[in-house]
């Protein structure tokens, strides 16, 4: 939840984030719950066809855009959140689509800020007391996380234009908001086994399990800094010989595959786990790796495989054939998913009631 406190987007408790928090979308539960319907990427262009309002982002940042029960939201507040959000796209959006995205994002953030104003007012009205020990615990967790060399949490936050005091206050706000929204779902019944079975029977495609393998690998990366062909060839030969020696040691029993991976692998995503990746499906890895992983015998230490990343040796530890997840396997996850949906709907209804009863004055520009 607090994975990036240097990012102010996560510091501001917006309604969508609060609803996700409330409905229990912890990392482990989110991955376990039935997946949402797939997104039709063929319709992506439709997202960018709406006309952009004339110069919505170039007016005076101090101009009041909307009043919510007398509370003002300025254009500058919206732009600040937009700039942070746009940075997260990281060049993944074609330049010709950026203006359309900015126009839509402007409206979305404005609406989120309206809802935040309403929720903040309800939090203040409810006089919610936040457990300061939990606030301190969260701050301690942040301080314990690795920082760039020579930086502290405080200096990292300062580089992002915020302070530890602001972060602490935002944590309190988030916790108070969570308590408020949880109070609105106390009477929401949990999903029943019958509801779960109905969902299971009505969505068979969600419970298809493709063939997958659990495989470990040791990667020795190529040296991308070399440009001379002779030097490249010599470097590759040396790295392949190094990996062949590691493979021979594993086969001889002088070292386990897992320990060798922890010591030698250049893959930071798996080396600490002994090189292991669970549940690899076809299409998730580069072709050379995939062919080896899906054809090797379980427990076999495969020959050296070359991919664009370097040289690998692979060991398959488990293989599951394609099939269907049984209801008994999926039942608890489905019930948690449906219970979360019910709570999310309750929160959405509550927020709608706040908006329906509020005086929201849009300022014409």
| Extents of the domains making up the chain | 8-193+336-362, 211-321
Name the CATH superfamily housing domain 8-193+336-362: Porin chaperone SurA, peptide-binding domain (1.10.4030.10)
- For 293-337, write each residue's pLDDT tens digit: 999 999 999 999 999 999 999 999 999 999 999 999 999 999 999
Name the percent of the chain in helix, strand, coil, to the closest 5: 55, 15, 30
Instruction: For residues 276-288, give the mean pLDDT.
Output: 93
Local confidence band at 150 (pLDDT 50, 70, 90 cut-offs):
confident
Q: Which residues pair with 208 in a beta bridge?
A: 324
190-233, pLDDT tens digit by residue? 999 999 999 999 999 999 999 999 999 999 999 989 999 999 99
Number of Cβ within a 10 Å radius of residue 270? 18
What would you measure as the largest C-alpha separation in the chain, in angstroms?
77
Separation of first and last alpha carbons in the chain: 37
**298 DSSP assignment:** B
Classified by CATH at the fold level, domain 211-321 comes out as Chitinase A; domain 3 (3.10.50)
Nearest to 103 by CA among 51, 60, 154: 51
The closest of 151, 163, 138, 115 to 348, measured between CA atoms, is 115
Q: What are the phi and psi torsion angles at 261 (to 5°)?
A: -65, -45
How confident is the prediction for the chain on average, in pLDDT?
84
């Amino acid at each position: 939840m607090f994975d990036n406190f240097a990012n102010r987007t996560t510091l501001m408790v917006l309604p969508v984030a609060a609803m996700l928090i409330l409905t229990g979308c912890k990392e482990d539960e989110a991955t376990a719950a039935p997946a949402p319907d797939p997104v039709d990427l063929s319709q992506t262009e439709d997202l960018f066809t709406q006309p952009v309002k004339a110069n919505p982002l170039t007016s005076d940042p101090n101009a009041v855009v909307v009043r919510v029960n007398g509370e003002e939201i300025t254009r500058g507040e919206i732009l600040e959140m937009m700039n942070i959000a746009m940075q997260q796209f990281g060049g993944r959006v074609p330049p010709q689509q950026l203006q359309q995205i900015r126009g839509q994002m402007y409206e979305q953030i404005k609406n989120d800020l309206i809802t935040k104003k309403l929720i903040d007012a309800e939090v203040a009205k409810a006089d919610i007391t936040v457990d300061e020990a939990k606030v301190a615990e969260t701050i301690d967790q942040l301080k314990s996380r690795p920082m760039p060399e020579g930086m502290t949490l405080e200096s990292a936050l300062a580089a992002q234009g915020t302070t530890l005091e602001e972060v602490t206050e935002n944590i309190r706000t988030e916790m108070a908001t969570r308590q408020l929204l949880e109070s609105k779902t106390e009477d929401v019944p949990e999903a029943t086994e019958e509801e779960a079975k109905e969902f299971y029977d009505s969505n068979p495609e969600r419970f298809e399990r493709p063939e997958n393998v659990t495989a470990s690998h040791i990667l020795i990366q190529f040296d991308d800094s070399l440009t001379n062909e002779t030097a490249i060839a010599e470097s590759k030969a040396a790295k392949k010989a190094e990996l062949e020696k590691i493979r021979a040691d594993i086969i001889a029993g002088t070292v386990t595959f897992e320990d060798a991976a922890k010591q030698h692998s250049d893959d930071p995503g798996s080396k600490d786990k002994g090189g292991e990746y669970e549940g690899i499906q076809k299409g998730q890895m580069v072709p050379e790796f995939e062919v080896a992983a899906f054809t090797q015998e379980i427990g076999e230490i495969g020959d050296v495989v070359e991919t664009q990343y370097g040289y690998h040796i692979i060991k398959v530890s488990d293989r599951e054939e394609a099939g269907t997840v049984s209801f008994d396997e999926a039942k608890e996850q489905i019930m948690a998913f449906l219970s979360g949906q019910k709570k999310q709907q309750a929160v959405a209804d509550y927020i709608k009631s706040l908006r329906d009863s509020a005086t929201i004055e849009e300022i014409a520009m």
